[in-house]
Structure 1
């Protein structure tokens, strides 16, 4: 498959209100299906927002409720769901966790955020993940990171060197740092010669205002879609054939000197 129709669900997250947020996610999935999207993507921590002090009461135990609901939505609407991320309680810890489902409701990938963001006190309440994410979307090799992860290019390079052509990035990125958001994402797209689908939230919580600006970037860093700061769902079609063309012209992965990069 060379073309993929991607829906970005840029949502305002109700702080500490999982049931309300689940309802909004379900509505967005239905809307994406109506527009014949192949996959719909959500932002970071959409079940609770950064209600970190309330995770003991709010986090989804072992992710079971999230998995059940997203699986059923994917199966009902016959659409892939990139589940952004949610707060999950597991092994007496809390994790910022992504779930990805195919269009038959099968779980394809689980990813726990690797780099925890100190400015939002994430590391004080949550544990860091230890594993990479790899999955296919209708035959297209993909991966994902979460928000702060994009500041660590060596992590995304490792993921991309494993064969990924499509990078998903859910986020709760405050509006005060929007210029950094757009530049970092463009850099990650260019250096990894990959499409980037980045979904940020809008609205505000008790401590931050979030500016949206969700993006879809091509492997040259060009913006194929850029949203504003309002809640919305938008769809864009990406042509995966561009990846082979661009990687063929500038064979970055072949020209790496890995022998010099690591001890």
Structure 2
């Protein structure tokens, strides 16, 4: 991705999506801030928001043309003096199925963006099933996933711009690969603990630099039982993953996360049944 070059970045994204659609993909997901990168002190960063509606419409037209669903990373939108970081799910018909404004802002973002604050996380119906959207740092909050799962989400898409140096020098010094450990551990954990597919799509660095980049990359799909699938390295690239939705049914049959969450009195108020005891054990 080029810094604050929406036209150039859109053209590159379009090329990736066209190629993926030609290979039979049903969903294309792009990284957070894919049109502008994250350079909030650059005057062009804010002014680029004026074109957000036009780019969203272009993605809608592309989705309809190619008959593919698209999550166009995130798009910055201005509301008065405030900036909002928005993810959309566009159906293969070009219609918008879902819209989500980033809730959990990374610390440097809080000087520039407005959070969705107390708005609830909501899932929505799509041609691929019931889907939820989160953005980047939301990954760190299990509560966000639980709220989406309670609303029936089977697939959770997470556009991100996460780098290896999003921590202090002290934190980086403890382990230069610490953020990779964070991402690889958490994406898979969220998939298992929620019996859902987690589509994590992070910005990668210039291909010519290979793994020698501060971008974390590591885009992947976390699936219960199977773990991480289609994982990329740190360089910019495309990964195509086959997702068998039956695996999610098997996971739920085994772990019963959704069943427990729907039970009356849930919230760790379950009972323990032991051999020789009544069905209800007082805790």
TM-score (norm 2): 0.80
Q: 3-state SS of the aligned residue for 1:59?
A: helix
Cα distance in 1, alignment partners of residues 25 and 192 from structure 2: 25
Residue in 1 that maps onto 2:102? 113
Aligned to 2:39: 51
2-side partners of 1:133 and 1:70: how far apart? 22
Deviates more, 1:211-220 or 1:160-169: 211-220
Task: State whether residues 48 and 59 of structure 1, in contact with CA within 8 Å, keep that contact through their aligned partners in structure 2.
Answer: no
Q: When the two structures are aligned, how many residues end up with a matched partner?
A: 243
- Deviations 1:80-102 (CA, angstroms, capped at 9, x unpaired): 10111122212431011111111
Cα pair distance change 1:93/1:152, threshold 3 Å: same
Alignment of 1:1-263 (within 5 A): 13-53=1-41, 54=43, 55-60=45-50, 63-118=52-107, 121-129=108-116, 130-176=119-165, 177-203=179-205, 209-220=214-225, 222-256=227-261, 258-259=266-267
Distance change >3 Å, CA 221–CA 171, structure 1 → 2:
farther
SS at match of 2:198: strand
SS state at 2:205 partner: strand
Per residue, is there more strand in 1 or in 2? 1
Q: Is 1:110–1:133's contact at 8 Å kept on the other side of the alignment?
A: no
Q: CA 1:232 to 1:76, structure 2 compared with 1: closer, same or farther past 3 Å?
A: same
Q: Secondary structure at the match of 2:242?
A: strand
CA RMSD of aligned residues (A): 1.9
Q: Secondary structure at the match of 1:235?
A: coil
Q: Distance in 1 between matches of 2:136 and 2:199?
A: 12
Larger RCO: 1 or 2 (CA < 8 Å, sep 6+)? 1
Q: Structure 1: which 5+ residue stretches go unaligned?
A: 1-12
**Structure 1 Cα separation of the partners of residues 35 and 98 of structure 2:** 18
Per-residue Cα deviation, 1:180-203 (whole angstroms, up to 9, x for no partner): 011111111111011111100012
Listed one character per residue, the Cα deviations across residues 118-149 of structure 1 (whole Å, up to 9, x for unaligned) are 0xx10100000234242333241111100100
